[in-house]
Chains A and B, each alone.
Chain A
Amino acid sequence: MSTKIYKNIADYLVAAEVEKREVLKVTAELKPDLTVEEAYLVQQELVRTKLEEGRRIVGPKMGLTSKAKMKQMGVEEPIYGYVFDYMLIHNGGKVPFHDLIHPKVEAEIVFLIGEDIEGPGITGAQVLAKTQAVLPALEIIDSRYENFNFTLPDVVADNASTSRVVFGTTLKSPEQFELDLVGATLSINGEIKDLGAGAAVLGHPANAIAMLANMLAKKGEKIRKGDVILSGALTGAVMLNVGDYVSGKFDGLGEVTFTVIE
């Protein structure tokens, strides 16, 4: 019975995504006592469903990596979810608004992993040593929950609100950067909506990847060579509307853009 309920919740969330409609958070009615550990089991079912549909995992993504968000959610640790191939949008490409529910965009730094990273005890420096390249990205998050209203277990179950990702197209060697000092601006239709530096992500974006390795280790898993990992937002999440031309500029890493169409 136990996995059955997780599967049911996963189906409930997948249906919301597929049918592009917002649903009541899981902890409202479906399972009010859902724990974070159980929420990851739901997420696992959700991931399994997508893999069975023939989707491919691009890599994990980190969420709740800013102090402000962690405080807001009352947590000490970030969360993670998974990015799938069908979520990718070309740099400069178009995002159909009708494919989504109530999308928001954030600017992030992405790590392309060069060697397996296995926790526990991993630090940011070790992550950098095993990182093949870094690149910029815009992540579109789209909680399946009404009004982005959720508790920590809800958002974990919902694959950390993952929806679409636009990767930059230039890979850079991480040695060239002090990633905590990389500045980024997020503009919509030419107007800067938000900005931040790498340190907004747990002090340094590599720290987020290290925490991921350590969190995965608790389940006997690891970060794998070839994983493409979104390390968390440098900026706040900005609401998207039809007609928006979105641009994320990253110091030394380049620019990522997309347009929101109907």
Chain B
Amino acid sequence: MTTKIKDYADQLAAAEATRIGIAPLSEMDDKLTVNDAYSIQLENIHRKLEQGHKIVGKKIGLTSLAMQTLLGVNEPDYGHLLDCMVVENGGRVSIEKTLQPKVEAEIAFVLKKDLQGPNVTTLDVLQATEYIVPALEIVDSRITDWKIKLTDTVADNASSGFYVLGGKPTKIEDIDLELIGMVFSKNGEVVNTGVGAAALGNPASCVAWLANRLSDFDISLKAGEVILSGALSAAIEAKKGDFFTARFAHLGQVSVQF
């Protein structure tokens, strides 16, 4: 562990604790690599584990072409989901626990078998999936004004905040993941719609990407873990009092209030 990694991890942890954003790491240090950034992320995850938190899953970010173009990258990124990030369906997120939250609708996977990369295919993911459920992810950035580059968001646990699972656990047989429609509403008004294919063409392909990327760090996806497979539409800013609902074809709905 270099002192640089530890120092950036400290800064991000402090930003989360004080809810005061920091300048982009990529601006402070243009030599920071993506692998450095994952080391920073892992450093902070290890600290959380030492505090007694548990890893309950993973999230995949930057899965839309629009986001990848915006950040100038051609692959997604991932972060860790911890038990302290879970919000019940229909539950509340205290705005005071966040810095600059946004909400996205996603399809969550729960696996029945471990998936160890490399060479995991989309079909492997479908076979290893116990069920899928609709999810809302509350993303948040510890970087001021969301001025993120790839390394910034990776170091910041892929801009994770909280997540909500809802609807009904649904077997993937007879469902075309690419074409699952989703309607996202804020305070009762439709703000956008999306389709499974918004996540790299197919949400299961995102999970396959994750399994393969994790093998670079000698990590596997575990049975029972929750995997947020990537946003089906653009993230919407949340303010105190806002109520978000996402309705999914086949899967039901999920909601959260701030």
**Residues of chain A having any CB pair with chain B under 8 Å:** 67, 178, 180-185, 192, 195-200, 203, 234, 249-252
Contacts and interface: CB of A to CB of B under 8 A. Distances in A.
Contacts of A67: 190
A199 B190 contact: yes
Interface in B116-171: none
B181 A197 contact: yes
A199 B184 CA distance: 9
A183 B249 contact: yes
B241 to A, nearest CB: 22
B78 interface: no
Contacts of A196: 193-195
Given A197-B181, A197-B183, A182 B201 contact: no
* Size bin of chain B's contact surface: 10 to 19
A249 B197 CA distance: 11
Given A198-B181, A251-B176, A251-B181, A181 B197 contact: no
B198 A195 contact: yes
A195 B249 contact: no
B193 A200 contact: yes
Contacts of A200: 193
A185 B181 contact: no
Contacts of B190: 67, 199, 203
Nearest to B65: A192
A181 B179 contact: no
B23 interface: no
A183 B201 contact: no
Interface of B: 176, 178-183, 190, 193-198, 201, 247-249
Contacts of A182: 179, 181, 249
A195 B195 contact: yes
Nearest to A249: B179
A234 B183 CA distance: 12
Nearest to B248: A181
Given A178-B249, A182-B249, A192-B201, A251 B179 contact: yes
B194 A197 contact: yes
B2 to A, nearest CB: 41
7 contacts: A67-B190, A178-B249, A180-B183, A192-B201, A196-B193, A199-B183, A251-B180
Contact of A181 (B183, B198, B201): B183
B232 to A, nearest CB: 9
B65 to A, nearest CB: 8
A249 B10 CA distance: 48
Contact of B180 (A183, A199, A234): A183
B174 to A, nearest CB: 10
Among all A-B residue pairs, the 9 with the closest Cβ atoms: A183-B181, A197-B181, A183-B195, A251-B179, A181-B249, A197-B193, A199-B183, A195-B195, A181-B181
